[in-house]
Structure 1
Amino acid sequence: MISLDSPVIAVLGDHKKKREGIEERLGLRTVGDLLHHFPRRYVKTGELTRVDDLEDGQMLTVVGQIAHSKLNSYTDRRTGRPAYRLDVSVRTDGPSFRMSFFAKSKHIGEWHQNRLPVGRRGIFLGKVGSFRGDWQLTNPQLVLFGDPDEDAAQLSLDKIGEFYPIYPLTKGVDSWDIQRAVAFALTVVDDVPDLIPEAVRDEYGLLDVHTALERIHNPHDYGEISSAQRRFRFEEALVTQLALARRRRTVRELGARARTGGGGLLAEFDSRLPFELTAGQREIGAQIEEDLAQSHPMNRLLQGEVGSGKTLVALRAMLRVVDSGGQAALLAPTEVLAQQHHRSITAMLGDLAAGGMLGGAAEATNVELLTGSMTKAQRTAPMSRIATGEAGIVIGTHALLEEKVIFADLGLVVVDEQHRFGVEQRAALTDKAGTPPHVLVMTATPIPRTVAMTVFGDLETSTLTELPAGRAPIQTNLVPLAEHPQWIARVWERVREEVEKGHQVYVVCPRITGDEHEQGETDQVDVDEDGNAVTAAAPTAGLSAVEEVAAELVEGPLHGLRVEKLHGKMPPDDKDAVMRAFAAGDVDVLVATTVIEVGVDVANATAMVLLDADRFGVSQLHQLRGRVGRGGLPGLCLLVSRAEPGSPARDRLDAVAQTTDGFELSRVDLEQRREGDVLGKSQSGYRSGLQTLRVLRDEKTIVEARAAAVALLDADPDLARAGDLGAAVSRLEESVQSDFMEKS
């Protein structure tokens, strides 16, 4: 008896190479895995395929018709014997293709010719190439329609149906290998558990699992494809939503200490502010204050444009917790940003940051900085003040996650640029609290994973839509060196013009040196037509690097200007000295890596040149651009790139140049890079923990599944009566936990 748990060989047949490809490279080890390996698209068998925009090397699957067939003889140069080549022309709804089949004997050549007569239609698969002005399919594979003599590897039209499924494949495995095994499995497997309860299926108009499997693998029309896809997307959304909802409920049940104030620190700080809070800052501040007063942990995302005042909102929340007798920790992704936060928060607080010191205000607290580069001796005093509770606000990098760092009463964790930290890294900090602390995560540009978590409801969301007074518009221009290499000279002329006006300029490079990555940097990734990750084709050699670019500018187009370098491999004291000099106006042009991406605030910086801009993601480009125009002066951002028109990288740059709306750009980013692992640590978008869901496309389905998940848990908190659905949720939770254990 064949079941979902049976090995895939039970329906595949004993073909060793195909079995290895399906089991090892596609990861389909059971019949259940195979049945849930869904087609990525379909070709309609009843009509010729429309073909547009062909490119050399493209893999193509089309329904076509034999238009011409001729058997030619020639002499094999290796053997000197006669050989035969059948040249065939295939017509589509578009260009025709040439195919060639080689045979050592005339008999085999004639056999090929007889099976490929003019007028016969079929499905043809191969790599597109061009030869003497004609398109051809190299090493073609084919399934012919209506041929009674086809062997077991071929399929007749009545077995294929009206739509032919095209599956995600691997080398050595053809789409019809999968299709044939799936068709057999559907006839012999009877017991397929339905994870979605019947009441939920009825409420949301979903197919049962048997019908959905038949329709997704062997549809008769587009409506059947759509209804089957909706059912499986809902199923995945429901399992994920249940896991997220249970995680939220578990945290709530643990309880948290309400932080209702009591001290005078926040009130004193507010009374000293030299400006009015924006309406958004006041509204979200009240929202956070209400969250902090609850006996369960706050878990809130604060998102807003670069410069919208998120740090001030977070600082007021931290002061509220300090007023309540607790401590607040701010986790930053880089030392430069941690130092910047420490300087800016200390400056904003003034004598309110000098607790216990001569000249400190009566309501004051201490603000400590803890980073990985600090020596053991430098850490001793700050760690002691953190452990005793003397330090009310602690700012740091990943160093805060170390076991030796102990808090007296950690009441609030603020995570800046949250897309740099996974769920587990946040957990490592929140675990340092005796009771679960409140959590506030911030981002200036919602990158894909943030958007995914927002839609999935892992976090409550607050959005700052206003910009404080003094923010100037930023003009962004693409400098396409692929078409206009001479334009680079004008780029450096514009830099010199800005400096002559008394302003300062950033020049950002993707490398420190020509053969070295910036710390934490990853290659930009694109997506192929199947949604698989592919590294951008641009070679690393020749990419702009800080050391080389700075030297070239000093000796060349920016000779005479004050040019300095900044990158992650510099000693912390040197980095801090360079940033202080730039902020003080003692540096005209700062050539840097992405260490200046977030938090760096120099009001006199009005222009930025991003070299090899296609090597950065959408959110990163938007973040970097936000470093200019911060002092009320108009900003200029030049995106210098050799990316070819029409490439995914060029599309990214065009999107960034066309809008300064970070929330619109986040959707562009999400469409290109996918969602990432919503429950785990992966930040890059690959591989997505989601199999059939796409956050933008399926937002309505996700919202419906969330409502269904809440109703199910209200009626059955432990999913004790949910049967197979409960087991699926537990498996997801266990897989996430095991990933965490492996990485921690």
Structure 2
Amino acid sequence: MATLSDRLDYIVGKKAAGPLEEHFGIRTVNDLLRHYPRKYSDGMTVLAEGEELKEGEHVTFVDTITGTKVGDMKPQFDKKTGKRRKRKWLRVTLGDRRSPVTATFFNADWMLDDLVVGTRLMLSGEVKYFRRTLQLTHPAFLVLESSKGKTFGTKSLKTIASASGAVGDDVLSAFEREFFPIYPANRKLQSWDIYACVRQVLDVLDPIAEPLPESFLRQHDLITEDQALRAIHIAENKVEREQAQRRLTYDEAIGLQWALVKRRYSELSESGPVAPVRDDGLVAALHARLPFELTAGQTEVLDVISAELASSRPMNRMLQGEVGSGKTIVSVLAMLQMVDAGYQCALLAPTEVLAAQHDRSVRDVLGPLAMAGQLGGEDGATRVALLTGSMSAAQKRAVRDEVASGEAGIVIGTHALLQDAVEFHRLGMVVVDEQHRFGVEQRDRLRSKAPEGVTPHLLVMTATPIPRTVALTHYGDLEVSTLRELPRGRQPISTNTIFITKHRSWLDRAWQRITEEVHAGRQAYVVASRIDADDKPKNDDAQDPERESAPPPVTVIELFEGLRQGPLAGLRLGLMHGRLPADEKDAVMEAFRAGEIDVLVCTTVIEVGVDVPNATVMLVMDADRFGISQLHQLRGRIGRGEHPSLCLLATNLPENSKAGARLKAVASTLDGFELADLDLKERQEGDVLGHTQSGRAITLRFLSLLDHLEIILAARGFCESMYAQDPDDSGLAMLAAPFVDTDRVEFLDKA
């Protein structure tokens, strides 16, 4: 008998288990049974004349060979003999059909004498078409009747047939089912091979222990783990398979939430730096000099953060809010609370442009409070340090010395902060901006620079609103705070879509509008999706039929030259993109910020971190090339000053296209949370969830972030409750194994 933790090579043999591990990482019985079917076929397929199957469908034929053709393959090197061997391919034609059906076998020397005209056999594989001929390439097969009376075939089908004890045409009884499971497979390991292993395992599997309490099963009307893992593979009744899918949906939700709750509370035993609020420190001094009042939302969030910083439990919090909602001042006040307690803070930004913007913003808001040891600095002031990869070796060394000595209380930087050479004197808090651009391992690497035995508080920020289900899953190891209101005085942004092929004159009018804004003393952005012809946009899809008739996207270099000599001639234009050297990018941004450039022609390098209140117009060319969240982020670069702003989304695709509908949706609302939900519907959920700590993609077979909020909430509450009772529950650890590498390794080691 077998259990879930048994290695597969003990059950199905090394020859069958080897490919499962090589191609899919399947090592144990549990791994195999959770390699769920991707769909189900409808048993034997009898193809009527004129009927067509779609490419990719799995089909099974039982028929007689009416024709054969043999050919030579390209010589292959034989490792055993050290010589190149010639091998044959065989193509057989089935039946006497008006619409031919063929099957091709490679390395077919061993079957040439047996798969001859008159042989009756079963073939099973995926449908492909070549010149309107239905083809099965290297399908699984089983000879049912031949002139030699010989029965042979693919091992997987033979295994299934022999298990039935039938012979000849009676073998078909083993396959006469309402359905067959079709597994994620490839050319070297086909679905039938996997199914044969599953059948072998299920035949010897002991009853599976139930990882969930019976009360939970009753409350949510779920079948047992044992019933679900068997039914998902072999139940012929559709209702039973649906019950199994529902139970396994809960398994995925609970496994993911258990992994997250373990991470969220694993640091409870560690010591967080305690930073009680002082009424005579930098926090109080900054409050006294702020030229504006904090919003109610900022005050509420700050109260929560401040209480957590004063606790010995390390804070793990995400602060999300629209562009301009005031996240920066909240993070600065939080960092000053840590500096008041004698700790340092690190602010990690994804780009040098954003890091420089944060450095400028923090220095501006602190003024003399950031000038410790300098002329004009206030008593008790701290220092702000900036560290980026483009700095000279001497500059980096000087900054590292400030950080190591503890002179710099707030250290702002890019990935350069993660390098081993950077040592902190007393790191107490890590702030990560634009969290979605960093992995868990990167923020943990920075936190590891704290003194031994201290786990720094963590605050991650994002201006990309996150749907609730994503916050509960991908960011489920963090508590979430949200800033929804914008600071007083913020001006509205109007957004319009320009469908160029329908209204060419509207694009001409857009250039005129930009000129008018510049003449009125304002500035503008013009955004392109790529730098030059060699730069393929991330969202570009050459197979997208909507784009077949559309011209290629304009490059930022083409756009800059065309505007300078065309509709924007006479205005001061600047060029900005990611391939410019860092000093050139800084110079261009400084000139734009200073008002020395009227129109910045750029790529998405300005998507985050650029704050120019005088910029009131943005025109996004080929806007269909950008995602919903990206367009919302770009739009957030305007509307930051005292003047109303205008965002124009231009596209060469038609208004009734999917992209057209997406652009109109962006134009219809400024609510980033509404757009985030729409973005989730458009994107693949795997892309949203990203990767585990090791970089492996997180795959959810049944759990949907769109449809299963209630299940996710139930799983979260259940895991919170169970963790309080037993943080080392072995059954829940098994469900969580696919989401946490360390758990998977421990699970496999025990196996």
Shorter-chain TM-score: which interval? Answer: 0.7 to 0.9
2:364 equivalent in structure 1 = 347
Match for 1:126: what amino acid?
V
Match for 2:308: what amino acid?
D
Contact 2:400 2:423 in 1 (8 A): yes
1:40 equivalent in structure 2 = 38
Task: Return closer, same or farther for 1:615/1:42 CA change in 2, 3 Å cut-off.
Answer: same
Residue 265 of structure 2 aligns to a residue in which SS?
helix
Residue 252 of structure 2 is aligned to residue 236 of structure 1: yes
Contact 1:562 1:588 in 2 (8 A): yes
Distance in 1, Cα, partners of 2:350 & 2:438: 8
Deviation for aligned residue 1:332: 1.0
Distance in 1, Cα, partners of 2:644 & 2:499: 23
Aligned counterparts, 1:292-691, within 5 A: 292-434=309-451, 435-446=454-465, 451-452=470-471, 457-480=476-499, 489=508, 491-516=510-535, 523-524=538-539, 543-642=553-652, 652-671=662-681, 672-674=683-685, 675-677=688-690, 679-680=692-693, 682=695, 687-691=697-701
RMSD (Å), alpha carbons = 4.8
Deviation for aligned residue 1:42: 4.4
Deviation for aligned residue 1:652: 4.9
Contact 1:419 1:447 in 2 (8 A): no
Task: Return closer, same or farther for 1:447/1:385 CA change in 2, 3 Å cut-off.
Answer: same
Contact 2:525 2:600 in 1 (8 A): yes
Contact 2:527 2:619 in 1 (8 A): yes
Contact 2:66 2:117 in 1 (8 A): no
Contact 2:254 2:735 in 1 (8 A): no
2:135 equivalent in structure 1 = 139
Contact 1:453 1:678 in 2 (8 A): no
Match for 1:468: what amino acid?
P
Residue 35 of structure 2 aligns to a residue in which SS?
coil
Residue 100 of structure 2 is aligned to residue 100 of structure 1: yes
Match for 1:323: what amino acid?
D
Distance in 2, Cα, partners of 1:356 & 1:481: 58
Distance in 1, Cα, partners of 2:564 & 2:247: 62
Deviation for aligned residue 1:431: 1.2
Residue 589 of structure 2 aligns to a residue in which SS?
helix
When structure 1 is superposed on structure 2, of 619-628 and 172-181 the one drifting more is 172-181
Distance in 1, Cα, partners of 2:498 & 2:213: 56
1:96 equivalent in structure 2 = none
Distance in 2, Cα, partners of 1:350 & 1:27: 56
Contact 1:39 1:167 in 2 (8 A): yes
Contact 1:21 1:171 in 2 (8 A): no
Distance in 2, Cα, partners of 1:59 & 1:486: 46
Distance in 1, Cα, partners of 2:386 & 2:730: 50
Deviation for aligned residue 1:648: 6.8
Contact 1:506 1:607 in 2 (8 A): yes
Task: Return closer, same or farther for 1:450/1:240 CA change in 2, 3 Å cut-off.
Answer: closer
Distance in 2, Cα, partners of 1:138 & 1:446: 48
Deviation for aligned residue 1:571: 2.9
Residue 251 of structure 1 aligns to a residue in which SS?
coil
Distance in 2, Cα, partners of 1:414 & 1:535: 43
Q: Deviations over 1:555-595 (max 9, x none)?
A: 23322221111123323332222112112222121112222
Contact 2:256 2:473 in 1 (8 A): no
Task: Return closer, same or farther for 1:564/1:527 CA change in 2, 3 Å cut-off.
Answer: closer
Distance in 2, Cα, partners of 1:222 & 1:526: 37
2:224 equivalent in structure 1 = 208
Contact 1:45 1:161 in 2 (8 A): yes
When structure 1 is superposed on structure 2, of 482-491 and 334-343 the one drifting more is 482-491
Residue 330 of structure 1 aligns to a residue in which SS?
strand
Deviation for aligned residue 1:633: 2.9
Distance in 2, Cα, partners of 1:170 & 1:648: 32
Distance in 2, Cα, partners of 1:458 & 1:673: 22
1:713 equivalent in structure 2 = 723
Q: Deviations over 1:386-434 (max 9, x none)?
A: 2222222221111111222222222221111111111111111111112
When structure 1 is superposed on structure 2, of 591-600 and 545-554 the one drifting more is 545-554
Deviation for aligned residue 1:623: 1.0
Contact 1:524 1:616 in 2 (8 A): yes
Task: Return closer, same or farther for 1:496/1:516 CA change in 2, 3 Å cut-off.
Answer: same
Task: Give the gaps of 5 or more residues in structure 2.
Answer: 68-92, 105-114, 146-150, 162-170, 747-751
Distance in 2, Cα, partners of 1:663 & 1:182: 44
Contact 2:254 2:736 in 1 (8 A): no
Distance in 1, Cα, partners of 2:335 & 2:663: 37
Residue 512 of structure 1 aligns to a residue in which SS?
coil
Distance in 2, Cα, partners of 1:30 & 1:614: 45
Distance in 2, Cα, partners of 1:703 & 1:48: 46
Contact 2:526 2:619 in 1 (8 A): yes
- The percentage of counterpart residues that share the same residue type is 44
Residue 349 of structure 1 aligns to a residue in which SS?
helix
Residue 203 of structure 2 is aligned to residue 190 of structure 1: no
Q: Deviations over 1:618-642 (max 9, x none)?
A: 3222211110121143333333445
Match for 1:545: what amino acid?
T
Deviation for aligned residue 1:192: 4.1
Deviation for aligned residue 1:317: 0.9
Deviation for aligned residue 1:369: 1.3
Task: Return closer, same or farther for 1:261/1:3 CA change in 2, 3 Å cut-off.
Answer: closer
Residue 372 of structure 2 aligns to a residue in which SS?
coil
Task: Return closer, same or farther for 1:138/1:500 CA change in 2, 3 Å cut-off.
Answer: farther
Q: Deviations over 1:249-272 (max 9, x none)?
A: 221211212111334321221122
Contact 2:277 2:306 in 1 (8 A): no
Distance in 1, Cα, partners of 2:691 & 2:701: 12
2:74 equivalent in structure 1 = none
Residue 574 of structure 2 aligns to a residue in which SS?
strand
Contact 1:474 1:635 in 2 (8 A): yes
When structure 1 is superposed on structure 2, of 646-655 and 628-637 the one drifting more is 646-655
Distance in 1, Cα, partners of 2:635 & 2:53: 36
Distance in 2, Cα, partners of 1:472 & 1:218: 61
Aligned counterparts, 1:34-183, within 5 A: 34-42=32-40, 59-60=56-57, 86-87=96-97, 99-101=99-101, 126-127=127-128, 138-139=134-135, 159=175, 161-171=177-187, 178-179=194-195, 181-183=197-199
Deviation for aligned residue 1:221: 5.1
Aligned residues: 683
Contact 2:385 2:410 in 1 (8 A): yes
2:261 equivalent in structure 1 = 245
Match for 1:524: what amino acid?
N
Residue 283 of structure 2 is aligned to residue 273 of structure 1: no
When structure 1 is superposed on structure 2, of 351-360 and 451-460 the one drifting more is 451-460
Distance in 2, Cα, partners of 1:41 & 1:415: 41
Contact 1:514 1:542 in 2 (8 A): no
Distance in 1, Cα, partners of 2:503 & 2:14: 57
Match for 1:266: what amino acid?
V
Distance in 2, Cα, partners of 1:238 & 1:614: 37
Match for 1:387: what amino acid?
A
When structure 1 is superposed on structure 2, of 540-549 and 350-359 the one drifting more is 540-549
